[in-house]
Structure 1
């Protein structure tokens, strides 16, 4: 269908606007809202990450400045605030790891265990999860739960993470009197390192076992 005159064309445009104008306008508004909403969300995320980073730095400064009960308590409070205020940031996981270490320093192994389990269950970073598992294994060992600690290592890792895991396993096995298994774990740990000299304590542990053999 064609429109011969300009008046007919204008009339048709008005008719289309009356029929579809509001839906079209609504679509434009929703599209713009989506764009600005996404930008706002990104800005919010960046702001959250920046604030969490600042709080994390404050926590580290307090925790590492003095080795006193007061500084440990203050650092733990900052870590708790970070985890409460910015739970979706990666810094919340780092804060939980630090909080667990502070709990261990204070002899509160139950709290350390809960914090590390929280990281393991909630994190999506395999490397961070493995670090939490290794630390949890040592916390369990402090409570004479060596067999339970060994059961934590049921995923595949490599490189430095494997070296760290096998050293922890070696320590656990040694505590259980399984010296040959401990020796094998330490050897695996050394073999996983690009430069075995970076962890001289591994060679010392192997040498001690060789002297006992």
Structure 2
């Protein structure tokens, strides 16, 4: 049901008051208020999404076409970095619940890693995860955070494993997650578990028709290492036979 004007709604309420009394009129008034409030909320939501989208487009416009087509983060000029920082800050402050804020912050974290600002990158990724984003963004941010933590210190291996083990990643992300787990196991010195994780990552990539040569390279490099314990053997002594 719709009404052409506020005056018609008021007139309708007057007639209902006269015919049915206070309870009916109050009930209808509450319903009309709820409907109006919901429509206003919808309007504001659409406006918020449009504004966040516009800000995110500003971030993309900051990059050249060649930069946007690169798989890894290309070097940015100081002017571009300033623009990116401003856009990301605006999105985080005013539109924290939007996916645009999450995507922009993921991009910023990539740039921070490239600039060797690991602490800043960790803070950016932790912010994304704190917003409880959709599963795809959560998985991406978690894996990237795992890599940052391992780059900071091999002692973060267990923390990384704890985080990735509880991650509810989809099948399409299995290769990426298992590869990160393998890195964590290797940081902890557990080569057997690392090999199992890399193997699982390679198999998952092949099952999904993905070409991930770096995964196979990790597995091959691990297989080429001497057996555990041989690294500490006194090289001046010949190997024992038998």
Q: Could you tell me the TM-score, scaled by structure 1's length?
A: 0.80
CA contact (8 A) 2:172 2:208 kept: no
Q: Larger Cα Rg: Structure 1 or Structure 2?
A: 1
Match status 1:188 vs 2:200 = yes
1:3 aligned residue: none
Matches within 5 A, 1:110-121: 110-121=119-130
Give the match's secondary structure for 2:96.
Answer: coil
Matches within 5 A, 1:21-32: 21-32=21-32
What does the per-residue CA deviation read over 1:156-206, in whole Å, with 9 as the maximum and x for residues that have no partner? 434122211111122233344433322211111122233354212212222
Which stretches in structure 1 are left out of the alignment for 5+ residues?
Answer: 1-15
What is the distance in 1 between the residues matched to 2:177 and 2:44? 37
What is the distance in 2 between the residues matched to 1:195 and 1:209? 23
Structure with the bigger percentage of helix: 1
Task: Tell me how large the CA RMSD over aligned residues is.
Answer: 2.5
What is the distance in 2 between the residues matched to 1:185 and 1:96? 29
* Aligned-residue offset at 1:18: 5.6
What is the distance in 2 between the residues matched to 1:182 and 1:196? 23
The list of structure 1 runs, each at least 4 consecutive aligned residues, that deviate by more than 6 angstroms after superposition, is none
Match status 1:109 vs 2:121 = no
Give the match's secondary structure for 2:164.
Answer: coil
Give the match's secondary structure for 1:203.
Answer: helix
2:12 aligned residue: none
CA contact (8 A) 2:113 2:121 kept: yes
